[in-house]
Amino acid sequence: MTRGRTSTHGAPPVVRAADAAWMEHAACRNLDPETFFPIGSGLPAQRQARAAKAVCRPCSVREQCLRWAMRAGHEEGVWGGLDADERREAQRRLRNPADQVPEQVPNR
């Protein structure tokens, strides 16, 4: 971690101690944290975000990571397979359950 961001791979020791159980299983734990923090919105940043999400997709602690990031209010980077816009949308839906799209449409 080079810019003071917190992540599973660059979290401050106090955070690591509290969440070490799941962080030790992070698929990204040995990767460059910068991979998860694309800068800007251009094609290179979009490619970088896709690469980060590809690491997250099979990660066994994806759910814990996403919950932790949303609780901590992280506004940058890819966490739990979601970028900042996707996390904001998820937060919005959590606050407004009526906006949630049902996973299955009931049979009529």
The residues of the shown chain that bind ligand SF4, judged by CB under 6 A, are: 8, 26-28, 36, 55-56, 59, 61-62, 65, 79-81
Amino acid at position 42, single letter: G
Cβ-based nearer residue to ligand SF4, 30 or 96: 30
Cβ-based nearer residue to ligand SF4, 8 or 48: 8
CB of 16 to ligand SF4, least distance (A): 12
CB of 10 to ligand SF4, least distance (A): 11
| Distance from C-alpha of 12 to C-alpha of 4, rounded to nearest angstrom | 9
CB of 91 to ligand SF4, least distance (A): 17
Cβ-based nearer residue to ligand SF4, 72 or 99: 72
Do 4 and 36 touch, CB atoms closer than 8 A?
no
Q: Which of 69, 67, 55, 68 is nearest to 26 (CA)?
A: 55
CB of 22 to ligand SF4, least distance (A): 8
Helices (H) and strands (E) in the chain, counts: 4, 0
| Distance from C-alpha of 74 to C-alpha of 82, rounded to nearest angstrom | 11
